[in-house]
């Protein structure tokens, strides 16, 4: 959408050596800082996609700047910067000014100076190392051991994990929601710390989040439970990250819950260092973990995720020469006998009907209803989460653990 832009002015007449894939975001942030120095009333910017028109026949990104007028943010009276990524490698950019009125020489000169200075700052920018901390917690495990805690501080690759000592409760979904209702999981959090490299914290925090989630995924396999991020990566401050004295509005330090202390297995430490290089196994691990997170509210898709994880292992071993169901069987045969595989492979059928026919097998369509299954006229949907999903979750976990131990 070009918003009535009718005037266009080339700035450099050539592409700029800004790598669109890796530098464009940082380049725009430098442009924002520089233009604020020249026009102090500017207090932000926005980016939108611009479609081709008769006057300007190219797809492009449109960078506009805002200023504050009273309680409203309005578009500043400066030409917009139209950014056109090229298809060359590395991807450079082409820049054009666009406005609803003729573009003056003063505006053009101002933009030339802004962009040249931003280019210089981008070129001089060096990567930094950012130290961070975060926390993961155990999601409620129906019928399982909820209160698992880390025994002691452990080095896992380039991150360090330590026990949180105190319990903490975090919000979750509830099977029968009302306006004032809610459910929660109580856990003994694990504090995770590490260092990530980037040009700024926004970039470095992506790697921190990948490391954090990878550890949660591996721990969920190792401890046969579901661990998730409950405190996002943050820069380490003057004092270490601490578990709050209160959670969900309640004091918790006095709460002493029974817990099972566990250590980090050696195979997990090895897998943390190597799993990223094994794309198929890494994908299967992530998908299995998504299945864990979906299990209660979305059993059919959780089932699909677990089957897909097993199938991915089968494809890794057999390649693309065999069909999907045979890949599933091959994945199963890594840990089960042929006789056992014959029983488990029935789980493939619900996966296929969900994938290809949009069939939901659980009680997703009855969200909000909580009741015991009928004794006289049982509905398979009521017990699908127990009869099928729990079973295939255990199988998927076993298949993945075997492959992770081999790394």
My answer on whether 143 and 228 are in the same domain is yes
Q: Collapsing DSSP states into helix, strand and coil, what is residue 10?
A: strand
Same domain for 241 and 138: yes
CATH code, domain carrying 74? 3.30.310
- Domain count of the fold of the chain: 3
Give tens-digit pLDDT for 54-75: 889 999 999 999 988 878 778 8
Q: Is a pLDDT exceeding 50 seen at residue 175?
A: yes
Structural domain includes residue 1: no
Among candidate residues 265, 299, 325, the one where a domain is terminated: 265
Q: Are residues 284 and 253 in the same domain?
A: no
Instruction: State residue 7's pLDDT score.
Output: 92
Return the CA Rg of the chain: 27
Please compute the mean of the pLDDT values over residues 274-302 and round it to a whole number: 94
Residue 11 within any structural domain of the chain? yes
Tokens 């962009």 sit on residue = 115
Rounded-to-integer distance, Cα 104 and Cα 78, Å: 10
Domain that holds residue 299: 278-367+375-407
Percent of the chain whose predicted confidence (pLDDT) is above 90? 60
306-357: pLDDT as tens digits: 999 999 999 999 887 888 889 999 999 999 998 889 888 888 888 888 888 7
- 113 and 189, same structural domain? no
Output the pLDDT for position 1: 45
The pair phi, psi for residue 237, each rounded to 5°, is -95, -155
In a domain, 229, yes or no: yes
pLDDT reported for residue 222: 97
Predicted TM-score of the model (pTM): 0.85
Residue 273 lies in a domain: no
Same domain, 132 and 247: yes
Q: 155 and 33 in one domain?
A: no
Rounded Cα distance between 201 and 131, Å, is 10
148: in domain: yes
Band of pLDDT at residue 219, cut at 50, 70 and 90 = very high
Domain end (from 98, 124, 150)? 124
Residues 253 and 294 in one domain: no
Residue-wise pLDDT for 8-65, tens only, equals 999 999 999 999 998 999 999 999 999 999 998 898 899 999 889 888 999 999 999 9
Q: What is the pLDDT of residues 352-392, one digit of tens each?
A: 888 887 888 777 777 766 666 666 666 666 667 777 888 99
pLDDT at 47: 93
- 147 and 185 belong to one structural domain: yes
Which tokens hold the place of 377?
């006229």
My answer on whether 291 and 391 are in the same domain is: yes
Domain endpoint, select from 124, 155, 186: 124
């Amino acid at each position: 959408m070009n918003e009535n832009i009718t005037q266009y002015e080339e700035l450099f007449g050539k592409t700029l050596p800004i790598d669109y894939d890796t530098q464009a975001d940082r380049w725009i942030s430098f442009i924002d800082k520089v233009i604020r120095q020249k026009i102090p009333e500017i207090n932000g910017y926005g980016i939108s996609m611009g479609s081709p028109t008769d006057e300007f026949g190219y797809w492009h990104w449109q960078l506009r700047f805002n200023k504050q007028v009273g309680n409203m943010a309005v578009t500043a009276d400066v030409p917009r910067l139209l950014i056109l990524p090229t298809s060359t490698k590395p991807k450079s950019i082409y820049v054009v000014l666009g406005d609803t009125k003729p573009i003056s020489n003063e505006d053009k000169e101002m933009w030339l100076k802004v962009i040249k200075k931003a280019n210089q700052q981008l070129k001089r920018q060096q990567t930094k190392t950012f130290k961070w901390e975060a926390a993961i917690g155990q999601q409620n495990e129906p019928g399982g051991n909820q209160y698992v805690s880390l025994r002691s501080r452990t080095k896992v690759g380039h991150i360090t994990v330590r026990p949180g000592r105190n319990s903490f409760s975090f919000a979750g979904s509830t099977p029968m929601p009302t306006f004032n209702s809610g459910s929660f999981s109580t856990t003994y959090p694990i504090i995770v710390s590490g260092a990530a490299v980037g040009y700024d914290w926004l970039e470095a925090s992506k790697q921190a989040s990948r490391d954090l989630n990878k550890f949660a995924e591996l721990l969920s396999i190792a401890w046969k439970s579901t661990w998730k991020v409950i405190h996002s990566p943050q820069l380490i401050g003057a004092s270490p990250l601490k578990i709050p004295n209160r959670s969900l509005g309640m004091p918790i330090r006095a709460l002493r819950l029974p817990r099972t202390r566990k250590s980090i297995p050696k195979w997990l430490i090895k897998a943390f260092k190597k799993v990223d290089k094994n794309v198929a196994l890494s994908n299967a691990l992530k998908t299995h973990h998504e299945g864990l997170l979906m299990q209660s509210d979305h059993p059919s898709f959780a089932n699909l995720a677990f089957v897909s994880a097993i199938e991915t292992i089968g494809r890794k071993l057999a390649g693309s020469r065999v069909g999907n169901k045979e890949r599933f069987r091959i994945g199963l045969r890594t840990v089960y006998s042929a006789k056992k595989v014959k029983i488990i492979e029935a789980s493939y059928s619900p996966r296929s009907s969900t994938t290809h026919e949009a069939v939901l097998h659980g009680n997703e369509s009855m969200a909000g209803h909580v009741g015991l299954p009928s004794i006289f006229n049982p509905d398979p949907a009521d017990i699908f989460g127990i009869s099928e999903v729990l079973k295939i979750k255990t199988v998927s976990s076993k298949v993945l653990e075997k492959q992770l131990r081999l790394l």
